[in-house]
Amino acid sequence: MRATAAEQNVPDAVTATEADLINTLAFERHSGDPENQTGGTHSGKALLIEAPEGEVAGMAFYFTTYVAWAAKSGICLEDLYVLPKYRCRGYARLLVQGVARKAEELGCTRMEWLCYKENHRALKFYRGIGAKEMDALTFLRLDGDSMAKFANETVS
């Protein structure tokens, strides 16, 4: 996670600790069943891919969403990263495909994700697998102090 943030020129963006991840992520076993972990919400899922050498070569984090206009679930690919030494071996494709398979299993109507506009390598990859850019939409965010301020604002 730190490597992908550094690569996107936001090295200080990762604030998650190992404990945070354990409490919020469910890892998929080879059988497809989420690993039973104690405590936590497990709102996110993690898919890892191993290189033949036994090292984790890449990861994909995702979570389910709700598509109101279709009255069905969707999947959001939150993060995708393959270590530089394992790139161009098909691991990113396998990870995205694994998340797409999970979406199919769950009966999701779509799969969505965000990508930095400056990440030309990733955009080329995504376009190559058939993803389309949603130019009609604007990504918006409230976080940190802005979110807290708005949440506690009183209506006059």
For 124-154, b/e burial (b = at least 16 CB within 10 A) is ebbeeeebeeeeeeeeeeeeeeeeeeeeeee
pTM value is: 0.81
Counted residue by residue, the chain has a size of 156
* pLDDT tens, position by position, 63-89: 999 999 999 999 999 999 999 999 999
Phi/psi of residue 89, nearest 5 degrees: -115, 0
Domains (ranges, CATH) in the chain? 2-151 (3.40.630.30)
- pLDDT confidence of residue 40: 55
Confidence of residue 155 (pLDDT cuts 50, 70, 90): confident
